[in-house]
């Protein structure tokens, strides 16, 4: 009777340990959003297709070394055949066979490549190079997702920060409203002061509605990109300032290098095209006449040997094909140079933006320090009846606008830093 409760408690404890936890706040960083967006994007499915296609092509190329089996047949009628009576003097008592003009043959051949001059080796190398080029091209396309994620992620952060500042401003006005209500009830204040503060709070609530609607739209877009639910309970981590470098390490550069590597392989293929090829073969056939043409009747025969193939036709176009490859290399170098040129211009502009927002933030802090002192003084003056509620709200609005500007500039600074990071590829 004692063991059963103990066993039940143990089972409950195990269930609590291994059961999924609910109600936990989902935390997202911008780097995790980059990773999830990449894995969620439909284009990622091409990675496996490219790898499988390359694997099949390599298997097909390897089958060149397997024995090749061919069958062919023919039936012919010719206007003339070998005549022994015309070629040899006639002798008494000797007759020469006559070869029929209709001849028949069905033949099977089994051949085995011995030396191909490096054709298959270079073909396999080109298949692997093309797979790497396609995979890297896919990586280039997926990398563009970062710009979209960055824009949406920081838009959500901006709405969050503006909502926080909106609530701080609302708290200040609600404190003033409580005092104005108390003064009105005690007969030492005016109802117009109460109404003006209520109207200001309503305007704050209306601004919050706009901020929440915008945040909801951006969160929905982010959820679609990363394939996860993103709502008001989701915590987006505010990134820290980055240590930036202007060195360019974009995936496009590797794509250019892989393309240049494929041109080198193609040039080796050109050289192997005019190298002699060696193979072994065995033929078996049945027909009329056989190898013994003197015996004019149906029968089987076979032949085995070594075959040398040396085609020099590719030499005619070898020089032009090399020139074409050199032109392709030059075009690729120009494309790479253009890409680097445009990237450096973008980095220069983004670097200027980073400096601009840093300077603006310094000014924001100085302005906020002054306006906060003014707002606190105005609060004391309102309590002592020196200024009106309208004047106090005006001072509070000026401080709020300065703080909102600092929020915007801070988010913009972080966003342009991440744009710089993505542009440079670091």
Model pLDDT for residues 376-398, shown as the tens digit of each residue: 999 889 888 888 888 989 999 99
CA–chain centroid gap for 58, Å, is 24
Residue 92 reports pLDDT greater than 60: yes
Q: How confident is the model at residue 143 (pLDDT cuts 50, 70, 90)?
A: very high
pTM of the predicted structure, to 2 decimals: 0.80
d(CA 133, CA 325): 17
Residue for token digits 């502009």?
A: 349
Residue with token string 């195990």: 14
**Among 22-31, 215-224, 315-324, whose mean pLDDT is lowest?**
22-31
| Torsion sign over Cα 60, 64, 68, 72 | positive
The pLDDT tens digits for 328-339 are 999 999 999 999
- CA gap 339, 332 in Å, rounded: 10
pLDDT exceeds cutoff 70 at 369: yes
Euclidean distance between CA atoms 57 and 77, whole angstroms: 43
Query: Nearest-CA neighbor of 352 among 424, 413, 423?
Result: 413
* Confidence class for position 73, pLDDT limits 50, 70, 90: very high
Token pair recorded at residue 213: 């609607």
Q: What is the mean pLDDT of the chain?
A: 88
Yes or no: say if 65 and 124 are a contact pair by the CB < 8 Å rule.
no
Tens digit of pLDDT for each residue in 191-202? 898 999 999 999
Q: Is the pLDDT of residue 176 over 90?
A: no
Q: Which pLDDT belongs to residue 19? A: 42
């Amino acid at each position: 009777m004692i063991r059963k409760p103990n066993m039940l408690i143990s089972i409950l404890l195990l269930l609590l340990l291994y059961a999924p936890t609910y109600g936990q706040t989902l935390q997202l960083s911008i780097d995790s959003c980059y990773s999830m967006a990449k894995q969620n994007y439909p284009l990622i499915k091409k990675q496996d297709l490219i790898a499988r296609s390359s694997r099949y092509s390599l298997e097909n190329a390897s089958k060149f070394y397997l024995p090749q089996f061919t069958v062919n047949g023919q039936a012919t009628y010719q206007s003339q055949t070998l005549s022994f009576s015309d070629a040899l003097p006639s002798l008494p008592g000797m007759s020469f066979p006559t070869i029929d003009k209709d001849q028949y043959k069905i033949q099977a051949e089994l051949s085995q490549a011995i030396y191909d001059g490096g054709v298959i080796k270079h073909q396999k190398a080109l298949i692997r190079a093309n797979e790497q080029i396609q995979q890297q091209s896919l990586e280039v396309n997926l990398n563009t997702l970062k710009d979209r994620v960055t824009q949406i992620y920081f838009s959500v952060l901006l709405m969050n920060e503006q909502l926080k500042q909106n609530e701080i401003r609302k708290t200040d006005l609600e404190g003033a409203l409580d005092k104005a209500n108390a003064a009105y009830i005690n007969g030492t204040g005016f109802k117009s002061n109460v109404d003006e503060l209520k109207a200001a709070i309503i305007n704050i609530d209306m601004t919050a509605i706009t901020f929440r609607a915008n945040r909801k739209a951006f969160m929905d877009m982010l959820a679609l990109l990363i394939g996860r639910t993103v709502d008001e309970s989701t915590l987006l981590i505010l990134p820290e300032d980055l240590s930036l470098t202007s060195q360019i390490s974009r995936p496009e550069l590797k794509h250019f290098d892989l393309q240049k590597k494929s041109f080198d392989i193609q040039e080796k293929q050109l050289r192997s095209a005019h190298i002699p090829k060696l193979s072994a073969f065995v033929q078996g056939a049945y027909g009329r006449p056989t190898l013994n043409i003197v015996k004019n009747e149906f029968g089987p025969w076979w032949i085995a040997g070594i075959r040398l193939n040396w085609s020099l036709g590719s030499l005619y176009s070898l020089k032009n094909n090399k020139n074409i490859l050199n032109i392709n290399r030059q075009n690729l170098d120009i494309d790479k140079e253009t890409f680097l040129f445009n990237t450096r211009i973008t980095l220069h502009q983004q670097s200027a933006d980073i400096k601009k927002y840093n300077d603006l933030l310094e000014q924001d802090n100085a302005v906020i320090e002054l306006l906060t002192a003014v707002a606190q003084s105005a609060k004391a003056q309102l309590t002592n009846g020196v200024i009106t509620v309208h004047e106090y709200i005006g001072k509070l609005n000026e401080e709020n606008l300065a703080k909102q500007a600092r929020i915007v500039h801070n988010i913009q600074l972080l966003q342009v830093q991440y744009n710089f990071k993505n542009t440079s590829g670091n």
